[in-house]
Amino acid sequence: MHAYSYILFLGLAACQSVLAAPFGYSDYDSLFARAGRPELYRSGNAGGPKFDNIRPNDIKPVDGKYKPGTGGISTFSDLGQLKGQKNIWALPASADLGSHLKAVNDHDKHWSIQPSTEITEEEYKSALTALNGKAQKYVAPKRRGYSDLEAREYIDYLLCAYVPLLSCNSIDCCYF
């Protein structure tokens, strides 16, 4: 399966200019960037993920424009990085970032949403605002609550099934 994928990838790479143009992509990187991006998580507030909240430490304009590779809006590919946060938002891997943005894996599980081309602050903010509507509030799966009695019964079952009792010859020694 991997060999087939590799051959397919090479074939697509050879036709990059033919494939990129009809979809509005100008280069190979932006065409295939979405394919390898995981679901990204960001802490926001109850109203939204606040992708458009550009902080000075995230990215700095150069001559009034934001440039690729100079920083971006922080996101994470792992929920563990946002442990303890109340309002977590997920940007699905299938969400289109548009022609002005790209997701870059800075290090480990940290990703930043950066400009893909040189753009003005208004264009960057507008593109980030569009992402707010594509994100979904993350709702953690509910944990099943066990009562003390259920827990004791389950432990007894495990002990009887997997740990033979020395003084017993049958399952009658279990405390069900």
Predicted confidence (pLDDT) per residue in 131-159, tens digit: 999 999 998 777 666 566 666 666 666 66
Rounded distance between C-alpha atoms, residue 116 and residue 97, angstroms: 10
> Per residue in 29-55, pLDDT tens?
444 444 578 999 999 999 999 999 999
Q: Which residue has the tokens 């953690």?
A: 140
153 token code pair: 């019964």
Torsion-angle region of residue 84: left (phi > 0), alpha (psi -120 to 50) or beta? Answer: left
What confidence tier does 28 reach under pLDDT thresholds 50, 70, 90? Answer: very low
* Between 110 and 2, residue with greater pLDDT: 110
Nearest to 41 by CA among 110, 99, 107: 110
What confidence tier does 6 reach under pLDDT thresholds 50, 70, 90? Answer: very low
Contact predicate 24/59, CB 8 Å: no
Residue 69: predicted pLDDT: 92
What one-character DSSP code corresponds to residue 84? T
> Per residue in 60-79, pLDDT tens?
998 889 999 999 999 999 98
Task: Decide if pLDDT at 128 tops 80.
Answer: yes
Q: Are strands 73-76 and 110-115 parallel, antiparallel or unpaired?
A: antiparallel
